[in-house]
Amino acid sequence: NAGVTQTPKFQVLKTGQSMTLQCAQDMNHNSMYWYRQDPGMGLRLIYYSASEGTTDKGEVPNGYNVSRLNKREFSLRLESAAPSQTSVYFCASSASQGAQLNQPQHFGDGTRLSIL
Amino acid sequence: SQKIEQNSEALNIQEGKTATLTCNYTNYSPAYLQWYRQDPGRGPVFLLLIRENEKEKRKERLKVTFDTTLKQSLFHITASQPADSATYLCAPDTGGGNKLTFGTGTQLKVEL
């Protein structure tokens, strides 16, 4: 059971470079999320997708774009990386849609991104 | 703005004792609250969910309470074991869809 798979696990970028973080889930979940986790800040929501074909901004969306490619995959793109985007990025999914609220979120093991 | 507070200081307890972690929230009234466990280098793992109309929820050695008057949730681990050592995150719902707002977590260390 793979659950939520994130690639890559580690990445070092130079300021101004672009990259895409990949996320895929095999649980047939409708909702998917991207978070960043920084020391002392907790997990902060960047973007989420309530269902295939929809995306919405979270708490800290600036500098990021997302694509919900299909039901399984939700990617996060940094167009021009900045040192402030150095963080650990987590993707999550949940079964929630419509009346099916209050469902737990299932997380991947993160991508550790350093921007020099 | 919505604010969630968890004790940032690590909690050290002896094996066999009960660990109690606190989550306080302000400026909103969540319909439910979830607790997660996070180990170093890993993503959070869901433990328990409690709804606003539930006072208490149990699962094996875990117990969660939810006091909407005090705006507080308590997370208890009874008969704690060294394997329970981890960071525990509380996450009240944000009020739209299934979005959550996570606290910064409390690190628990269970010593022999």
Q: Given CB atoms, is A105 within the 8 Å cutoff of chain B?
A: yes
pLDDT score recorded for residue A4: 97
pLDDT score recorded for residue B35: 97
pLDDT score recorded for residue A81: 96
Section B6-10 average pLDDT? 88
pLDDT score recorded for residue A103: 86
pLDDT score recorded for residue A37: 97
Percent of chain A with pLDDT over 90: 83
Report pLDDT digits (tens) over B47-99.
999 998 998 999 999 999 999 999 999 999 999 999 999 999 999 988 666 78
Torsion of CA A50, A75, B41, A31, to 10 degrees: 10
pLDDT score recorded for residue B42: 96
Report pLDDT digits (tens) over B27-47.
888 889 999 999 999 999 999
pLDDT score recorded for residue A5: 97
Taking CA atoms, A52 is separated from A3, A93, B90, in Å, by 18, 12, 28
pLDDT above 80 for A31: yes
Stronger pLDDT, B58 or A40, i.e. the higher one: B58
Q: Strand ranges (DSSP E) for chain B?
A: 3-6, 11-14, 19-26, 32-38, 45-51, 56-59, 62-67, 72-77, 86-92, 106-111
pLDDT score recorded for residue B94: 80
pLDDT score recorded for residue A1: 65
Binned at pLDDT 50, 70 and 90, residue A99 comes out as: low
pLDDT score recorded for residue B2: 77
Task: Give the three-class secondary structure for A4.
Answer: strand
Report pLDDT digits (tens) over A46-92.
999 988 889 999 999 999 999 998 999 999 999 999 999 999 999 99
- Taking contacts as CB-CB distances below 8 angstroms, the residues of chain A near B51 are 102
Go through chain A and tell me how many residues it has: 116
CA count, 13 A, side-chain hemisphere, B108: 29
Q: Does the beta-carbon distance from A43 to B44 stay under 8 Å?
A: yes
Candidates B43, B46, B49; nearest CB to A90: B43
pLDDT score recorded for residue B90: 96
Which residue does chain B place closest to A30, by CA atoms?
B98
Q: Given CB atoms, is B103 within the 8 Å cutoff of chain A?
A: yes
Task: Give the three-class secondary structure for B43.
Answer: coil
- Evaluate whether B79 touches B15 at the Cβ level (below 8 Å): no
Task: Give the three-class secondary structure for B23.
Answer: strand
